[in-house]
Structure 1
């Protein structure tokens, strides 16, 4: 008897309504929401994080409503971009001035004291310098010659998003996907988490590519060189100026001296975070619209559902990784286990019942914007996709393309699976 066949029912202890039970998932009541979110996370501490969550909760629903008006969303976004880049340039200007002062102290000398002071300031300026993004570590890099069919599909989706394709694809073991620009040349890199890719159907994969490439069209500020590096500099300043806990008398004086610059840095960080997080959340909604255009509205909404059950996919992979330790490895060699992992993952995700998807949506509605202040809740993203007029797929994954891409990823699929079975996954 399968796990799905073992589903039973029982009355809700709160309202008496019939509840469907599946041993793999939380038992909850669809009528009164009893036990809908038994693992609600604790909120992080710290005034900065609390202020960030409060602002995200206050602004999130309002942004969701406004996104129906493209002109309203676009106008606010342009003004925010101007202010964000002005603040970022001011932050970098401070680093430049600090470097100049350090060089001047070294040149002046002042009997060696100037040299010492200058070297200290130069070291400080070095830690505050803008850092270019690097190629993501821990993944498998595929160039165009390694996966021409995959790049062809990416280029086709990029045309729909009104941008160009990527220069490199990195495949890793995360249940995620992302884009970034690396180095002075700004090479575009798409990172594909293979577990997420394997969870999706053909059109959902197109929708995923549409979403990620849509970020390049939107000009997401936190992915940009100027703003992203300024944000890092501010966080470094905050670390240096943080007050000492349980201070000695001398440290109390230092804490007092640092008070004004610390408050200034905090104010700038909150301002920059408010402006960029608003643009970032807006960018997520706009990227979702590209997902719908590329893969179809239905596929993009289905993608949102698959993101909701990412935790279940992680549980499946942890279970498969732990089989050898528990003496429950399926018959066959380790290589056969690696080959089988993706089939097991796809089957487990496919068997997730509808009421578990609904529970995840209600959990998202209950938690709102408080868990992740920079992304809109997934259930709101799904609602917005379904509220708009449905659009067909601009890019359709043909059986031939799917077969070729599967062949191109075959070697990486085995390597990533072996890594998961050997090392497990985080979380």
Structure 2
């Protein structure tokens, strides 16, 4: 019998660091940290010898997934077995290592599925109900088409017979306009827009990557075996996505509906975060839907009808947008009257479609829930009723982790760093959850209840249903689902880049980093922010920035270090409240500016649902906010003086510098001006009836130009502020790296509306980081000199 050995080459695979390799080995082989160190590059040694072909393949795959370059070598039966490393010796003797070198889970799956799944045909009552509900849902679009046809017939009949109802001969412009032109033109336009929903809309962007089956023969074999055991044809194509989900759908829509060809989409975070048993159970659930042949086709029809109704009722339509533009560009009374009538009809048709959607949705949801219960049976039969609850909890944890990782990734994008591999980062996030986090997730499983309009049952009800089956399970394997893949890391990185492309993120100009780097960077930023909050006694708010550049009043310049902090502590509740009010005033300033601008052009626009705009009252308030003359901002001026005194004493005692915080503080007036211009420019699209106003285009253009001018002015000032906390030699350099389009925007002032939003976000991040860094240094100086902080 041929035997094999697996040997390390002493190199790490591209994209892996010693830290990431060590973490993977600890997770996969359950070794002690000291043993893991003996396997890290540049270690060149035999990990394990005397293996059969499958065992060597499996161990080689584990090492490769961990990031170690390794070779599988044939070994003669009579050859001496080289001595293994201490790590390998421990791995051989430990239970985890024994699991890692046992038979391939694929062979276990094939053996388990040899006897097939127990079949259960749907009851005649369920089938009859399914058909009746599907017919009702399909008839709803036909009902809409009948109503449109009736409207068209009525319009033609009216224009043909209207003269029969007039007792006089119609002459002159106005009688002809009222009786013929207005109903004819408005009705024809309305009929065109009523027929618009029957036309195909633009195709949605593909959210997944097509997988070449030849790249993953083991995965393909597992899927084919599972489909065969369930009794369905295997999918004809495999797609990979970055979502915490898996799905099976008909290929090509209606073509697949008739020929039965299916496409399987696998979310790689599921593979990274689930065991082989859990992952294959999820696939069994998806294939279980297609085992209900009648139900799947009925579900396809129902879902298509619901999606069609929803999109036509709520999705923006370029035809409607062009009609609005046409109405805006024509001032003639006749055209405007026709447009008003037409728009009212379009609004009515959308309300009708929204009502029909609600009717179809309510009819179909109870059947959808029943289909989920039936598909859950296949998962429970394969993986076991007990494992069903564990999988549900793990899926909930992965969904939560994806949100956290995505948020952290977005924050590090401010510094031009992005994750290279999101699925692995999501799995690592879940592995890092403590007991408290898991307890919260478990409680979440029991909170939900199924409501009438839910398409899926609540998790707790699904778990109870699976447990009631008391299925022992056909397949059990706790190894990671990634062992079913040959090129899992490469697929994860491809899916991550596809996700960035879908979001419109230009990742080509970013530094793609490993999970550890982004996690460490995010943790550092979070810790720095927490330190800032503690150092300020929880007083700190993002806006307004403290005017630290102002000279100190004489009375504050004489305060001692401890006395300064004691006064901040004494007035802490009032300072916190004033800072919060001043932050609200920053947003109110922009709303007043927007409402005032429209008011000057004769367009009434309220500040809120309960407060209208009053020029005599609100314009003086607007000016007081700008001049820092409101009570809250006046109080913050003294607070800023106390913090400046505290910072100067700490820096002087520790011989430190305060750049770039004081320099950034001088920019806040420009930041608020840019914030105002950006809000005004970006809100024009949501002003409703304002779109009919004659001067709107000029107002919008002026707002965009102001946004551009404020952005460029602020950038020039930022170029003169040196810094070392972020990328670039200056704050301006950091901003230009964060937003490369600012150098040569292709669309002129229009593009600066989006650019300004990025600049404001990046500047706010730079200010918070500068303040946090300074607060950490000041806190160290205070502790070194025995000064009690605000929270002490």
The reply on whether 1:279 has 2:367 as its aligned counterpart is yes
Distance 1:114 1:420, change over 3 A: closer
1:411 aligns with 490
Residue 199 of structure 1 deviates from its aligned partner by 0.9
Q: Any unmatched runs of 5+ in structure 1?
A: 1-69, 241-248
Q: Which residue, 211, 225, 230 being the options, matches 2:285?
A: 211
Distance in 2, Cα, partners of 1:101 & 1:80: 32
Whether the 8 Å CA contact 2:209–2:241 is kept in 1: the answer is yes
| Range with bigger deviation, 145-154 or 260-269 | 260-269
The reply on whether 1:338 has 2:412 as its aligned counterpart is no
Q: Which has the larger radius of gyration?
A: 2
Length-normalised TM-score, structure 2:
0.36
Distance in 1, Cα, partners of 2:495 & 2:453: 28
The reply on whether 1:88 has 2:170 as its aligned counterpart is no
The reply on whether 1:356 has 2:446 as its aligned counterpart is no
Residue 381 of structure 1 deviates from its aligned partner by 1.5
Distance in 2, Cα, partners of 1:135 & 1:260: 26
2:538 aligns with none
| Range with bigger deviation, 305-314 or 318-327 | 318-327
1:49 aligns with none
Distance in 2, Cα, partners of 1:299 & 1:98: 52
Q: Which residue, 160, 165, 168 being the options, matches 2:237?
A: 168
Please list, as runs of the form range in 1=range in 2, the aligned pairs for 1:205-244 lying within 5 A after superposition: 205-218=279-292, 219-220=295-296, 223-224=299-300, 226-235=301-310, 238=313
Distance in 2, Cα, partners of 1:289 & 1:153: 19
Q: Which residue, 450, 465, 472 being the options, matches 1:369?
A: 450
Distance in 1, Cα, partners of 2:478 & 2:395: 24
Distance in 2, Cα, partners of 1:238 & 1:389: 45
1:89-145 deviation digits (Å, cap 9, x = unpaired): 352364378479869999xx979998996686355334235779x786132111433
Length-normalised TM-score, structure 1:
0.61
Count of residue pairs brought into register by the alignment: 336
2:113 aligns with none
3-state secondary structure, aligned to 1:138: coil
Root mean square deviation, CA, Å? 4.9
| Range with bigger deviation, 375-384 or 86-95 | 86-95
Distance in 2, Cα, partners of 1:74 & 1:82: 12
Distance in 1, Cα, partners of 2:291 & 2:314: 33
Distance in 2, Cα, partners of 1:97 & 1:422: 42
1:337-356 deviation digits (Å, cap 9, x = unpaired): 636x5554333323434553
2:468 aligns with 387
Distance in 1, Cα, partners of 2:381 & 2:205: 28
Point out which structure has higher relative CO (alpha carbons under 8 A, 6+ apart): 1
Whether the 8 Å CA contact 2:384–2:472 is kept in 1: the answer is yes
Q: Which residue, 112, 125, 129 being the options, matches 2:195?
A: 125
Whether the 8 Å CA contact 1:221–1:228 is kept in 2: the answer is no
3-state secondary structure, aligned to 1:392: coil
Distance in 2, Cα, partners of 1:159 & 1:338: 36
Whether the 8 Å CA contact 1:88–1:231 is kept in 2: the answer is no
Whether the 8 Å CA contact 1:158–1:164 is kept in 2: the answer is yes
Distance in 2, Cα, partners of 1:313 & 1:263: 36
Distance 1:80 1:262, change over 3 A: farther
3-state secondary structure, aligned to 1:373: coil
3-state secondary structure, aligned to 2:446: helix
Whether the 8 Å CA contact 1:103–1:118 is kept in 2: the answer is no
Distance 1:201 1:97, change over 3 A: same
Q: Which residue, 307, 314, 328 being the options, matches 2:403?
A: 314
Q: Any unmatched runs of 5+ in structure 2?
A: 1-119, 161-179, 316-336, 506-792
Residue 172 of structure 1 deviates from its aligned partner by 1.5
Whether the 8 Å CA contact 1:177–1:191 is kept in 2: the answer is yes
Residue 383 of structure 1 deviates from its aligned partner by 2.5
Distance 1:229 1:124, change over 3 A: farther
Whether the 8 Å CA contact 1:147–1:409 is kept in 2: the answer is no
